[in-house]
Amino acid sequence: MKALFLGLMLAALPAFGEHQETSLAPIALYIRFQQEPPLAVAEALQDEVNSIMAPMGLRFTWRALAGVSGSEVSVELAVITFKGTCDVAGLSPHSSNPGPLGWTHLSHGVILPFAEVDCQGIRGFIQKKLLTMPAADREEAYGRALGRVLAHELYHIFANTTRHNSCGVGKSKYTVQELLSPEFQFEERESLALKTSNTHAALEWAAR
Ligand SMILES: [Zn+2]
């Protein structure tokens, strides 16, 4: 099995009549933390993914992988593992070069709905800058950074592409500034790839 790394790094036929903007069925995200994050980190992470994906109409239900009973039904899903320490306790004023921040698995060139986010690596990468922020803001800023890396991997999975762009969430390498800036979004090309994807069409069909 190979992996697609983020470094620091059935078409539905239209119905007759007027086009109506329908909301899409939600995508189920099954998540597993190696170490449970503080609530503020988890909330900021989810808020960021929801907000980055909202312009494409994508919505998510977040489920703990551990709580899966086997009776859940979803049109589209992905399984996400968050690796390592996932909080902002004991930061040090040294930034490290973590290698890949997140990755999506491939099998024989096919993108699989399995991604991993390196909480510990992202933390090490941005910790020096996090320490310059008020302590009360750090968990939210860190959670937002995790959300950006996850949004990047979800783009690979749901647009079904290995492509990258030179700017925006679709970049292959992020800077500390991009992970911590107030705003970070997809560029037009990635937005369009998500909006015209088979996933989008399936979610639209399922919502009818
Ligand atoms: Zn990538």
Please choose, from the candidates 161, 168, 146, 144, the residue with its C-alpha nearest in 3D space to the C-alpha of residue 197. 161
Lookup: tokens for 142 = 């860190």
Please choose, from the candidates 135, 141, 177, the residue with its C-alpha nearest in 3D space to the C-alpha of residue 44. 141
Q: What is the pLDDT of residue 19?
A: 47
Q: How far is the CA of 6 from the centre of ligand 1 (A)?
A: 4
What is the percentage of the chain residues whose pLDDT exceeds 70? 91
Q: How far is the CA of 157 from the centre of ligand 1 (A)?
A: 10
Q: How far is the CA of 136 from the centre of ligand 1 (A)?
A: 31
Quick one: DSSP state of residue 168? S
| Helix boundaries (H) for the chain | 39-53, 119-130, 135-159, 176-180, 188-195, 198-207
Q: How far is the CA of 152 from the centre of ligand 1 (A)?
A: 6
Q: How far is the CA of 85 from the centre of ligand 1 (A)?
A: 22
Q: How far is the CA of 153 from the centre of ligand 1 (A)?
A: 6
Q: What is the pLDDT of residue 177?
A: 96
What span, in angstroms and rounded, lies between the C-alpha atoms of 59 and 2? Answer: 28
pLDDT at position 118 over 70:
yes
Top pLDDT among 11 and 58 is at 58
pLDDT at position 39 over 70:
yes
| Helix boundaries (H) for 8-134 | 39-53, 119-130
Q: How far is the CA of 37 from the centre of ligand 1 (A)?
A: 24
Q: What angle do CA 104, 161, 149 make, to 5 degrees?
A: 45
pLDDT at position 20 over 80:
no
Q: What is the pLDDT of residue 37?
A: 97
Q: How far is the CA of 38 from the centre of ligand 1 (A)?
A: 27
Q: How far is the CA of 50 from the centre of ligand 1 (A)?
A: 19
pTM for the whole structure: 0.90
Residue type, 55: P
pLDDT at position 18 over 60:
no
DSSP string across 171-190: BSB--HHHHHSS-----HHH
CB–CB of 157/113 below 8 Å? Answer: yes
Q: How far is the CA of 9 from the centre of ligand 1 (A)?
A: 8
Digit-coded pLDDT (tens) for 162-188: 999 999 999 999 999 999 999 999 999
107 three-state secondary structure: strand
Output helix, strand, coil percentages for the chain, rounded to the nearest 5.
Answer: 40, 20, 40
pLDDT at position 21 over 70:
no
Q: How far is the CA of 165 from the centre of ligand 1 (A)?
A: 9
Q: How far is the CA of 3 from the centre of ligand 1 (A)?
A: 10
Compute CA distances 120 → 64, 124, 166, 189, whole Å.
20, 6, 25, 30
Q: How far is the CA of 118 from the centre of ligand 1 (A)?
A: 14
